[in-house]
Amino acid sequence: MKTTYFARKEDFTDSDKKWYIVDAEGMVLGRLATRVTDALRGKDKPTFTPHIDTGAHVIVVNAEKVKLTGAKVAKKVYLHHTGYIGHLKSATAEQMLAKHPERVVEKAVFGMLPGNKMRAQYLKKLKVYAGKEHPHASQQPEKMEI
């Protein structure tokens, strides 16, 4: 009888983790976020363990060229509260893509991660850039096909 594999914290160091690069040009936001989330958590590997960070680092470039389907560009609203009474700020997806395109991808991935203590750890491994340039060439990222 086989036993279930559970990864231990000692088995995975940060230097062992791979780096992936994803070109978001022309990709649908939800599908992109799903694949990125799986890579961050390590769900694409047989060594996945829910309570241990076994995932990879992910770099997303060309976030400004991501697509939203249907009427989401005009109707999707992002809300932010400043902490002061009556200071609820809102912006449509169109405004967010124009001003802060990397936040659109970050918020989509954030919403797909589990809402526990591991979420912050996973988000530290996500790097999103609006253009094609990124400062992580020394990590030798592999291209991730989606």
Nearest one of 139, 142, 131 to 64, comparing CA atoms: 131
CA 4 vs CA 7, 40, 46, 47, 126: distances in Å: 10, 22, 11, 10, 29
Per the structure, the count of domains in the chain is 1
2-6, 84-88, 120-124: the lowest-pLDDT one: 2-6
Encode pLDDT of 18-59 as tens digits.
999 999 999 999 999 999 999 999 999 888 999 999 999 999
Q: Is residue 1 over pLDDT 80?
A: no
Q: How far apart are CA 122 and CA 119, in angstroms?
A: 5
The pLDDT score that the predictor gives to residue 47 is 86
Triad 98, 60, 72: Cα angle to 5°: 45
The pLDDT score that the predictor gives to residue 107 is 97
Q: Does residue 114 lie in a domain region?
A: yes
CATH number at residue 46: 3.90.1180.10
Domain span including residue 26: 17-68+100-143
Q: Are strands 88-92 and 57-61 parallel, antiparallel or unpaired?
A: unpaired
Encode pLDDT of 54-97 as tens digits.
999 999 999 999 999 999 999 999 999 999 999 999 999 999 99
Q: Does residue 133 lie in a domain region?
A: yes
CA 102 vs CA 28, 49, 82, 84: distances in Å: 14, 29, 20, 26
Q: Is residue 128 over pLDDT 80?
A: yes
Q: Is residue 137 over pLDDT 90?
A: yes
**pTM of the entire structure?**
0.92
Higher-scoring residue by pLDDT: 35, 2: 35
Q: Does residue 77 lie in a domain region?
A: no
Q: Does residue 87 lie in a domain region?
A: no
Q: Does residue 9 lie in a domain region?
A: no
- Per the DSSP assignment, residues forming a β-bridge with 90 are 79
